[in-house]
Structure 1
Amino acid sequence: MSVEDLRRIEQTRAHFQEMYRRVGGVPTLPRISATLDQRVAPMLRTAYENNLGRQLFRAAGSLTAFAGICAYDADQQMAATARFAEALGLARAAADLQFEGYLHALLANQAMHLGELDQVLDHTETVLDTLGDQLNPALTCDLHSLAAKAHARLGTSRACHRHLEAAETDADRTWNGPDLPETSYMTPGLVQLQTAEALRRLGDTSAARTYADEAVRTAPGTHLRGQVHRWAGYALVLTAQGEIEEAADAAATMLDRAVGMESGRLHDRLTSVVSALQPYSAAPDVASTLERAEVQLTEPGA
């Protein structure tokens, strides 16, 4: 095992991350799982000098966590939980608190999907209370956004706004500490999208629209998967405001970006937009968009 082996693991993760962003977790999962089982697991069974060992645990943990993300996206939740737990063990072996905090954000995100809102708050607020300013601002921003969305679903408005304000502050905070490459998903406009979604759930559609506008304005700067989420969020805010024609246009843009992707979570996003637009299906633009969405949603793996 050498430094070159470590770089290869990191490059492999970058490759699978790009694949996931372009085509989704369904086709990516078997490839990344095979790589972990056949190439990385044998390395972990060998003893190494401390520093090299910690670097190996860190690199392997990052790839393992990404396998968990792909499993989560492919609706294999038990496999995702197992991969996240495995990655947590590797993070502790690597003595990397930043990475451990990131894994709690992944677990919180999965808990959100499963409707386990108390678990979302347990993961996010425990890490924030324990590590606070010791964490990379991109990570704390994401943790605050996740907590805000959980509070929005619970209807606890004051706590939701407290976390939204903290997320905005962290989005602008400078950082001189260690890098956390796994947070590359925190691109400009993502905080605005998360804020818009929380505010929409609280019923504040006017404020949500302001943030959603910014999220789609900056959408070209992110990857295709991120663009699908932004246009979906925008369509939901527009529908909530009664701007149905604009919502149908936004949904059409969402569908453009989602072509060729096989992802359980994007399927959820498309379904939520379809459900919101369904009451307005008599409008020609809406009917056309819904018909197109139905085709994409019935594709295998979509």
Structure 2
Amino acid sequence: MHKPITNHQLHALMAEAGYDRSHAALARQVSRAGATRYGLVLRYDGASVYWWLRGRCPEQPVPELIAAVLGHRLGRPVPIAELGFARLAQVPDAETLVFPGSLDAAVTASAALWAKLSRPSADAAQPFVPAAAVDAGWRWHFDPPDHDLARSGSRRVDTDDVERLRTCQDQFLDLDRRHGGGHARTFLAEFLSRDVAPMLRGSYTDAVGRELFAVAAELTGTLAFMAYDAADHAAAQRAFTQALRLAKAAGDRTYGAHVLANLATQAIFLNLPAEAVRLSRAAVEGAGRRPAPAVAARLHTTDSTACALAGDLPAFRAALRRADRALDRDDGTGPSWARYFTPAHLAGTAMRCLLDLDRPAEALTHAGQALQLAPGNARTRALHTALTATAHAQAGHIDQAAALGMRAAGLARHLRSRRVQARLATLARALAKHQACRRPATSLK
């Protein structure tokens, strides 16, 4: 007895494409697309399609392959959200959450995400999806490289265009560090949607294309970090994922590893230790044998934080030593996006990890170094000041904690950063445990 069709959206698309009476043909095309695009050995047949029509959802990248096969037959793009798979429909903006397989899919997903984030919305409560983050890291590692990025479009893109984008990237990075992620993220999304998306759809050589995708990845990674700092975790994850894909297209493994480390940092903030460790280890391994010392230091520092969150003291210390040794080798010649990372950032991370491991006295040994920041690092200064105050509170130094807490609250007034607010809330809870200091604690809320 046949079960009734429940996926009517897929059935309608198959009928429109002429596959409604040729399930085996669709299955063969999907298997062939998997072999061509990803080197996968897929053995789908008519029975597979039978179950897809009755609600079974194949794992990625198969929905993407189905959409591509149907789109090719229909002569138009078919978003995977239109395939009718219930499990994908449960995830808002599923197309921007997954790691795109093809270059065209990467450009389409990035442009859609940029356009959405350029319009402020009230859906920041959407969740971070741990499995999708780990899947993106896996596919960044193991999907085949893009061999030719050359494209013919209506607008010619050259190296001068790319250099202009790099200047804009430096400016957006500076805005983020001085004012917090909530300050300019909508502006950056608008810039990406208005200026960068048409460039990606333009005309360029393979060499220019790789530079273009590289700077598009950096801009998207900055947008992701702004969203993360503003506590819009769904938007941040999607932007990190698309930045990862753009970096892969560019062949920029070190920036891809940096993005993966940022996904690990987001998992740390959300208290997901297992995912944080997986992502941070993947970032370290994926950066290659000899990344620039500043890049290596930053990656090992993230790994140390993930290990501390997981409660693994020996692994934390080992990763921190590797970060320290890498930073000792730094000569300032690494990529521009990594030059922000200094001994002060490493010291701040060490403090945070040691507090996670309930070692406030040891954490305070890093306090002096953690506050030796350049003037442009306004958000990091507020974070480290609040962190130092929390370490003093946990160590029982109430006067110092209250004084530093008031200083951190003053710094926070000039920032639009939910992470800074969360750090101040942690400090307020630490101070509230001491009855004699309830008044300073209240003032930080």
Q: Same fold (TM over 0.5)?
A: yes
Identify which of 165, 169, 175 aligns with 1:19: 175
Distance 1:12 1:267 in 2: 28
2:354 is the counterpart of 1:195: no
Write the distance in 2 (CA, Å) between the matches of 1:222 and 1:39. 27
1:214 and 1:222 map into 2 onto residues whose CA distance is 16
Q: Deviations over 1:134-156 (max 9, x none)?
A: 21222221222222222222221
How many matched pairs?
Answer: 289
Matched residue, 1:227: 381
Q: 1:58-103 deviations in whole A, cap 9, x for unaligned?
A: 1111111111111112222111111111111111111111111111
Aligned to 2:284: 128
Superposition pairs for residues 81-92 of structure 1, below 5 Å?
Answer: 81-92=237-248
Q: Match of 2:245, as an amino acid?
A: G
CA distance in 2, matches of 1:267, 1:275: 12
Equivalent in the alignment of 2:363: 208
Q: Does 2:259 correspond to 1:103? A: yes
Q: How far apart, CA to CA, are the structure 2 residues paired with 1:220 and 1:51?
A: 35
Deviation string, structure 1 residues 220-246 (Cα, Å, up to 9, x no partner): 555111100110111111111100100
Which of the numbers 63, 67, 71 marks the counterpart of 2:227? 71
Aligned partners of 2:176 and 2:286: how far apart in 1?
A: 32
Query: Given the alignment of the two structures, is residue 293 of structure 1 paired with residue 444 of structure 2, yes or no?
Result: yes
Work out which of the residue numbers 202, 206, 214 in structure 2 matches 1:58.
Answer: 214
Partner of residue 271, structure 1? 425
Tell me what 1:250 maps to. 404
Q: Deviations over 1:17-45 (max 9, x none)?
A: 22222322123111011011111101101
Root mean square deviation of aligned Cα = 1.9
Which aligned segments of 4 or more residues in structure 1 are displaced greater than 6 angstroms? none
Correspondence for 2:141:
none
Structure 1: distance between partners of 2:227 and 2:274: 22
Structure 1: segments with no counterpart, 5+ residues: 295-302
Distance 1:47 1:281, change over 3 A: farther
Alignment counterpart, residue 185 of structure 1, candidates 336, 340, 344? 340
Instruction: Provide the secondary structure at the position in 2 that maps to 1:282.
Output: helix
Q: In structure 2, what residue type is equivalent to 1:255?
A: A
Does structure 2 conserve the Cα–Cα contact (< 8 Å) formed by 1:98 and 1:180?
no
Kindly indicate whether the alpha-carbon contact (under 8 Å) linking 1:55 and 1:94 is maintained by their aligned counterparts in 2: yes
Q: Is the 8 A contact 1:187 1:222 kept in 2?
A: no
Q: Percent identity?
A: 27
1:34 maps to 2:190: yes
Letter in 2 for 1:93: A
Higher relative contact order (CA 8 A, sep 6+): 1
Instruction: Give the whole-Å Cα distance in 2 for the aligned partners of 1:281 and 1:219.
Output: 33
TM-score relative to the length of structure 1: 0.89
The gaps in structure 2 that reach 5 residues or longer are 1-156
- Paired letter, 1:30: T
Q: What is the match of residue 298 of structure 1?
A: none
Which structure is larger by alpha-carbon Rg, 1 or 2?
2
- Structure 1 match to 2:308: 152
**TM-score normalised by L of structure 2:** 0.62
CA distance in structure 1 between the partners assigned to 2:308 and 2:327 by the alignment = 20
